[in-house]
Structure 1
Amino acid sequence: MSTLPKRSEIKEENTWRLDDMFSDQPEWDQAYKNLKNLVSKVNQYEGKLNSAENVKAILTLEDEISYNVERLYVYAHLNHDQDTTNPTYQALSQKAKKLNVEISEALSFITPEILSLPEQELDALIENPELADYKFTLQEIKREKAHVLTKVEEALLAQVGNLSQAPQNIFGMINNADLKFPKIKDEHGNEVELTHGSYIQFLENPDRDVRRRAFKAVYETYGKQKNTIAATLSANVNKNMFYSRVRKYPSVLEMSLYGDNIPKDVYSNLIDTIHESLPLLHRYMKLRKKLLGVDELHMYDLFAPLVEEYKWDISYDEAKNIILEGLKPLGDNYLKVLSDGFNNRWIDVYENEGKRTGAYSWGAYGTHPFVLLNHKDNLNSMFTLAHEMGHALHSYFSDENLKYRDAQYTIFLAEVASTTNEALLMDYLLKHSSDPKQKLYLLTYYADQFRTTVFRQTMFAEFEKLIHERAEEGESLTPQELSSIYYDLNLKYHGKEMVVDQEIEMEWARIPHFYTSFYVYKYATGFSAATSFSKQILEEGQPAVDRYLSFLKSGGSDYSINILRKAGVDMSTPQPVREAMSVFENVIEQMEQLTK
C-alpha cells in the first residue's frame, strides 16, 4: 500500500494556486479557441515580409500567439504534474502539446523569409525606428544568416534531422535498456541489485568493500560494451562535424557556442583557470583521505560520507525562515517578493500520490512563477527550496521589467540566480553554526558541490574538446583512444593523493551528456558566476546588490555574456572562476581547522 497522501488530502496552503493563471477549465477552453482563431491569421503574411509594416505585424502577432500558447501549455502541464494519474489533465496536456507543434509549423516561415532579404534591406529593417522593439531579434536573425543555407539545402538538412538523433537514441537504448549490471553483495552479505539509480547510493555507502564492488561491477559491465559505445560516441562526433562543416563554422566547438553568442575564450578560460586551480582539488583529496582514515584514496571513495550522518531535521516553515534570513543581503525588495511567493501559494510543497518527482520552477509571462517541490524535512530540501526560488525570482524580475520577447533568459544564465541563493544561504548557515559537527557537515556538502559542479564538469568539458579536436584532425576515436584520454584527465585532475583506478578509464561510456555536445561547461560557468556574485554581494554590499538585481531584471534582452559583464561578472576573463576558487579555498581551510 502506498503511504503517500492522495492529492485531495493535501492541505490547500501547501499547494500552488493555479487559478492565478486560469480561473477554471472553461476559461482555458475559451483561450484555446481564441488562440486557434489567432493562428489562422498567420498565413496572410507569408510571402509578404518585405516591408517594415508587415514585419512588425507578423512579429507582434508571433508574440501574441507565443504568449498565449505558453500560458495554455504551462497551465495544462502544471495540473498534470501535480497528479499524473488524473485523466482530464493527461488529455489537456496532450492537447496543449499538439497545439504547440501546430503553431511552430505555422510560424516556421518567418525567419527564413526575413533571412532571404538582401543585406541592405535587412540592415534597413534593423535600423527602422518602427521596429525598435524587435531590433535585437532582427540582429540575431542577421547573425544567423552566414550559417543558413538555401531553401533546398535547409529542406534536405531537416530530413537528415531524424538520422542525426541516431547516436543519442542508440546510446539511450544500450544504456537504459540493454545494459544489465551484475548483483553485488551489500554490507550484510546479501545479494543486491545494482542499477543506474542505486549505483551512487552504493558509492555513498560507509562500507568500503561495498563501494569497491559496485565500482568494479559498473565499469566491467561498460568495458564489455566498449566497442559499441565508442562507435556510438564517435558517430555523434562525426554528426557534429558534418553540421559544423555544412553550416560553415570553423569547428564544432564554435558552432555549439554560436547560439548563445559565447566567445570561444569563455570555454578555454574555464579549462585554463581550473588547471591553474587543480592544487586546490588535490588539497581537498588529501583532506578527504585523512577524514576517511585510509592509506590510499581510491576513485570509489569520492562519494563516501566524511561526517557520520548528521541528522538535521528542518521543517518547511523553518526552512522558509532560514532562507529569508540567509538572503537578507539581497535587500528588502527581493525579500518582499520572496515572502509573497512563500505566502501566496506559488509553491506546491509536499509529495502526493501520482505527483511528478524532483523539483522545478516554471511559469508563463503575465503570471508569477510556480515552484514544484517534493519537500522532506532535511538540509537538501531547504537548499532545493532556495535554489528553485532563485529561478522563480529571476523570472519574476525579468517579466516585471521587460516585454515578453526580451524576458526569456538563456540556459547559459539559467543556473546563476538559483546557485547565488544557495551560496548566500550556505554563507549564512556557516556563520551561524556553533556545532563543529554541523559545520563540518555543511562544509563537506559545499566542498563536494565545487568538486562535482566545477571540477568534474570542466573535466567533462575538456574531454569533449579533446575528442572533437582529434576527430577534426582526422584521427579515429577507438575505445583505446577514448579511454586513454579520459584516464589521463583523471590523473591530472585528481593528483598524487588519489589512486586513479584503471577502471575509471571507462567512465566516458556512461555519461549521457556527451550526446548533447558542449553543454556541460554551462554548469561550471553558472556555478562560478553565482559564487562570484555572492562573494561580491557579501564583500561590497549595496553596489554589488544593485548590479545583481540589474542582472535579474535583464532576462534575455542582450547577449548572455554582456548581461553578466554589465552586472560585474565577466566570464570572458578568468576572474569569476578565480573568485569561485578563492571561496573553495576558504571552505577547505575551514575544514582543515576543524579536523586538526
Structure 2
Amino acid sequence: MNSGNETDTVREAGKFRTADQDPTGAPVLLTRSEVPEEQTWDLSLIFPDLDAWEADLAKLEGMSAAVAAFRGRLGENAAVLADCVAEYEDFYRTAMHVGVYAHLYHDQDTAAEEGMRLYSRFGALMARLGSRLSFIQPELVAVGAERLRAFLAEEPRLATAARVLENVMRQAEYTLSEPEERLLARASEAIGAPATIFSQLNNADLKFGTVIDEDGNEIELTHGRYLQLITSSKREVRAGAFKATWEAYGALKNTLAASFAAQMKNDNMLAEIRGFESARARALFANEIPETVWENLVGAVRERLDLLHEYTAMSKRFLGLDDFYPYDLYPSLVKEVKLKYTFAEAIDLLSAALAPLGEEYITNLRRAADERWIDWAENRNKRSGAYSSGCYGTPPYILITWKGGLDDLYTLAHELGHSMHSYLTWEAQPLLCADYSIFLAEIASTTNEILLTEYLLATNEDPLVRLAVINHYLDGFKGTVFRQTQFAEFEHAMHKAEAEGTVLTADYLIKSYGDLNQEYYGPALTPCPEIGLEWSRIPHFYRAYYVYQYATGFSAATAFAKAILEEGAPAVERYLKFLRAGNSAPPVEVLRKAGVDMATPEPVRAALDVFEAYLKQFIELKEAQE
C-alpha cells in the first residue's frame, strides 16, 4: 500500500523516483507497507483476510479426520474407495489454498513475523496431518493392483483418481509398511530442515554490506541489486558486487556446507530407505523419467562444450580483456544499446510477441496484469528471484522484481509461461491430475522466451538491437542449458561422493565446484577462487535432481517454438493440448504426443545447433560493427 507520505520512495520502470534518500544520495528500499498497491499481488483472491485463512486452517484438522476414518476400509469395495477419494480431494484443495497463501504472504516480506508465523504453522500442521494420512498409500498397495483396476472399471467416480491409483501401483515396490510411512511422514519437517535453514539464511539473515553502483553511489547490496550490478558495463562495479557477494557467503561457508551436506545425506537416506539404487533413481522415478534422459542430456552437452569455450573466448575478445573472470560473463556485449520498458509496456509487447499462441492465451495473459496476479515491486526483505506459484482454484501468481531491462522482460515472459501453463491445466484437468510433472514445468516458460526472441528479431532492423537480442539469447542458453547441466553434474557428483562416505566439507565443495566450472567454461576463463563458492547460493540444490530439467525444458521448448512458427495452427493446437495435459499421462508420453521425443538426445542436439547458429550470426554482426 502507498502510505501517501511525500517522503516515500517509488520505483517505476527500473528507475527510482525519490523524495527521500540516504546520506549518499542513493535511493532507499521501500518497506512492504510503502509499496503502491497496484505493484503488488492481490492475495484476497485466495482469502479476503487473515481471519478467513485462519478459519480454513482450522478446518483441516476435521477434514483430515474425515479421510482418516477410512483407514482399514480402502479395500472393502469401489464405492468406499470413491467416498474416501472425495473426502481427500476436499482436504487437499483446502490445504493447498491455505499453504499457497501462507508462502506467498511470507515471501512478500521474509523478515515479517506474521508471514513467518503463518508459514511455520502451516508446515507444522501438515507434517502432523500428513502422518495421520500416511496410511493411504501402503493400504492401497496392500489392496493390490488387480483389485484396484477392478475398482476403477466398476466405479465411475474413481475416474478422476485413475492416474493417482496407477502411480500407487507403480510405486508399490518402493512403498514401506504403514507404521514406517507414518514415521517418515512425521519426520518430514525435520527432513526439510536444511532447505528451511538455507532459505532463512539466504533471504533474511545474510547481509552483503554496501557497494558502489554505476553512478558512484554507495548502496546496500541485495539479491535483486546483485543481479543488476553483475551485468554492469563498468568492470569495477560488477567486480565489487561479485566480491562483496562471495565475501558474505564465504563468511558462512562452513554453515552453508553443513546445510548442503545435510541435504545430500537426506536425499541418499530417503533413496536407501525406499530401496532405490541412488538419489537420482528415486528423484527421476518420482516424475516417471527414465535415467537415460538425464544421461542423454549430460552426454549431448559434454559433446559440445567446445561451443561454450568458444562463447567464453568470444566474450573475452569483444570485451577487450586480457584476463576474464566469472563476473565478466554477465555484461552485455552490446554496450551501445540499453533497452528499457515500463511494466505496462512490457505487457503490451509480450501480448504481441506471443500472439501466435492465440486470442485465449493473450486474454489470460492480460488478466494476470489487470487482476494483480503479479507482484512486481521491489521492497526490503522480499524473496529474491522470480517464480510462478498458485494452486487449483487460485490465480497462478507471479513474484518478480521489476527493473525494466531486457532481462526483466524475458523473466516476465518466462514466468507468464509458467502461469499460463498452470492456468490452462487447472481449467482442463480434474484436481488430482492438475499438478503437471516438474519435468514439464520449464517448457512453456522457455517457449515464451524463444517466441519473444523471434519477435524482437523480426520487428527490429537496427543491427544494434538485433545484437542485443541475440546476445540475450546466447546468454540465456548459456545459463539455462550449459549452466544447469553443470549444476546437474555437480549435484550428482556430490550425491555420489556422500554416498561413498566422503565428508562434504566447505573446502571439498569449493574445489569440486571450481574444477567443474573451469572445465565447462574452458581456458579463456581466468581461474578464480571465489567462484568455487557458487554452490552455496543455489536454492535448487535443495530439490534433488531438479536443475537438469531447465536444460531439457529449453531443448523441448526449442522444438515447440520452431514448429509453432513454421507450421502455424496445427503446431499451436498440439502445443495448447500439451499445456492442458497436466498429469494425465507420463511426461515423456505427453511430450511425444505433442511431437517432441525427449527419450532421445536429438532435441538437445538440435537446441545446441540453434545456439551454434546464433553464435555465428552474433560474431558476424559484431565484427561488422567494429
Normalised-by-shorter TM-score class? 0.7 to 0.9
Q: Does 1:575 align with 2:602?
A: yes
CA RMSD in angstroms comes to 4.3
Structure 2 unaligned residues grouped into runs of 5+: 1-6, 12-31
The match for 2:564 is: 537
* Equivalent position amino acid for 1:55 in 2: L
Residue 36 (structure 1) shift:
7.0
Residue 322 (structure 1) shift:
1.7
* Equivalent position amino acid for 2:71 in 1: E
The 1:126/1:250 distance shift into structure 2, 3 A limit, reads: farther
User: Do the aligned partners of 2:416 and 2:445 also contact (CA within 8 Å) in 1?
Assistant: yes
Residue 287 (structure 1) shift:
1.7
Q: Does 1:351 align with 2:357?
A: no
Residue 428 (structure 1) shift:
0.2
Residue 303 (structure 1) shift:
1.9
The match for 1:42 is: 67
The match for 2:14 is: none
Which region of structure 1 is more displaced relative to structure 2, 220-229 or 318-327?
Answer: 220-229
Q: Does 1:316 align with 2:333?
A: no
User: Do the aligned partners of 1:127 and 1:135 also contact (CA within 8 Å) in 2?
Assistant: no
Q: Distance in 1 between matches of 2:364 and 2:179?
A: 51
Q: Does 1:282 align with 2:288?
A: no
- SS of the residue aligned with 2:69? helix
Residue 186 (structure 1) shift:
8.1
Q: Distance in 2 between matches of 1:405 and 1:193?
A: 45
User: Do the aligned partners of 2:82 and 2:155 also contact (CA within 8 Å) in 1?
Assistant: no
The match for 2:299 is: 272
Q: Does 1:249 align with 2:276?
A: yes
The 1:192/1:478 distance shift into structure 2, 3 A limit, reads: same
Which deviations, in whole Å up to 9, do the C-alpha atoms of 1:33-56 show, x marking residues without a partner? 887765553343222112221111
Q: Distance in 1 between matches of 2:52 and 2:539?
A: 41
The 1:188/1:556 distance shift into structure 2, 3 A limit, reads: closer
Q: Does 1:558 align with 2:585?
A: yes
Q: Distance in 2 between matches of 1:333 and 1:176?
A: 37
Which deviations, in whole Å up to 9, do the C-alpha atoms of 1:176-233 show, x marking residues without a partner? 8998879888899999877766655554344435555665676677678767765664
- SS of the residue aligned with 2:338? coil
The 1:126/1:200 distance shift into structure 2, 3 A limit, reads: same
Q: Does 1:395 align with 2:422?
A: yes
The match for 2:480 is: 453
The match for 2:323 is: 296
Q: Does 1:65 align with 2:65?
A: no
User: Do the aligned partners of 1:82 and 1:354 also contact (CA within 8 Å) in 2?
Assistant: no
- SS of the residue aligned with 1:499? coil
Q: Does 1:493 align with 2:499?
A: no
* Equivalent position amino acid for 1:256 in 2: A
Q: Does 1:525 align with 2:525?
A: no
* Equivalent position amino acid for 1:46 in 2: R
The 1:341/1:457 distance shift into structure 2, 3 A limit, reads: closer
The 1:67/1:303 distance shift into structure 2, 3 A limit, reads: same
Residue 553 (structure 1) shift:
0.9
Normalized against structure 2, the TM-score is what?
0.80
Structure 1 unaligned residues grouped into runs of 5+: none
Which deviations, in whole Å up to 9, do the C-alpha atoms of 1:116-150 show, x marking residues without a partner? 33554345445545433322111111222211222
* Equivalent position amino acid for 2:8 in 1: S
The 1:159/1:309 distance shift into structure 2, 3 A limit, reads: farther
The match for 1:149 is: 176
The match for 2:142 is: 116
Residue 524 (structure 1) shift:
1.8
Q: Between the two proteins, what is the percent identity of the paired residues?
A: 41
The match for 1:586 is: 613
Residue 360 (structure 1) shift:
4.4
Q: Distance in 1 between matches of 2:543 and 2:369?
A: 35
Which deviations, in whole Å up to 9, do the C-alpha atoms of 1:241-281 show, x marking residues without a partner? 33222211111210121211111011111111111221221
* Equivalent position amino acid for 2:90 in 1: E
Which region of structure 1 is more displaced relative to structure 2, 464-473 or 169-178?
Answer: 169-178
Which region of structure 1 is more displaced relative to structure 2, 566-575 or 207-216?
Answer: 207-216
The 1:323/1:168 distance shift into structure 2, 3 A limit, reads: closer
Which region of structure 1 is more displaced relative to structure 2, 552-561 or 478-487?
Answer: 478-487
User: Do the aligned partners of 1:4 and 1:352 also contact (CA within 8 Å) in 2?
Assistant: no
Residue 427 (structure 1) shift:
1.1
The match for 1:3 is: 9
Q: Distance in 1 between matches of 2:597 and 2:529?
A: 39
Residue 571 (structure 1) shift:
2.0
The 1:427/1:252 distance shift into structure 2, 3 A limit, reads: same
The structure 2 residue matched to 1:416, chosen from 416, 424, 443, is 443
The match for 1:335 is: 362
Which region of structure 1 is more displaced relative to structure 2, 291-300 or 250-259?
Answer: 291-300
The 1:93/1:207 distance shift into structure 2, 3 A limit, reads: closer
User: Do the aligned partners of 2:203 and 2:381 also contact (CA within 8 Å) in 1?
Assistant: no
* Equivalent position amino acid for 2:562 in 1: K
User: Do the aligned partners of 2:40 and 2:377 also contact (CA within 8 Å) in 1?
Assistant: no
The match for 1:53 is: 79
Which region of structure 1 is more displaced relative to structure 2, 303-312 or 347-356?
Answer: 347-356
Residue 451 (structure 1) shift:
1.2
* Equivalent position amino acid for 2:490 in 1: F
Residue 558 (structure 1) shift:
1.6
User: Do the aligned partners of 1:394 and 1:417 also contact (CA within 8 Å) in 2?
Assistant: yes
- SS of the residue aligned with 2:171? helix
Which deviations, in whole Å up to 9, do the C-alpha atoms of 1:64-96 show, x marking residues without a partner? 332344445556776787899999999988887
The 1:348/1:281 distance shift into structure 2, 3 A limit, reads: closer
Q: Distance in 2 between matches of 1:495 and 1:112?
A: 50
Q: Distance in 1 between matches of 2:506 and 2:114?
A: 49
* Equivalent position amino acid for 2:598 in 1: M
The 1:255/1:590 distance shift into structure 2, 3 A limit, reads: same
The structure 2 residue matched to 1:426, chosen from 435, 441, 453, is 453
Which region of structure 1 is more displaced relative to structure 2, 491-500 or 418-427?
Answer: 491-500
Which region of structure 1 is more displaced relative to structure 2, 325-334 or 164-173?
Answer: 164-173
Q: Distance in 2 between matches of 1:253 and 1:368?
A: 33
User: Do the aligned partners of 1:7 and 1:83 also contact (CA within 8 Å) in 2?
Assistant: no
Normalized against structure 1, the TM-score is what?
0.83
The 1:470/1:99 distance shift into structure 2, 3 A limit, reads: closer
Q: Distance in 1 between matches of 2:227 and 2:369?
A: 33
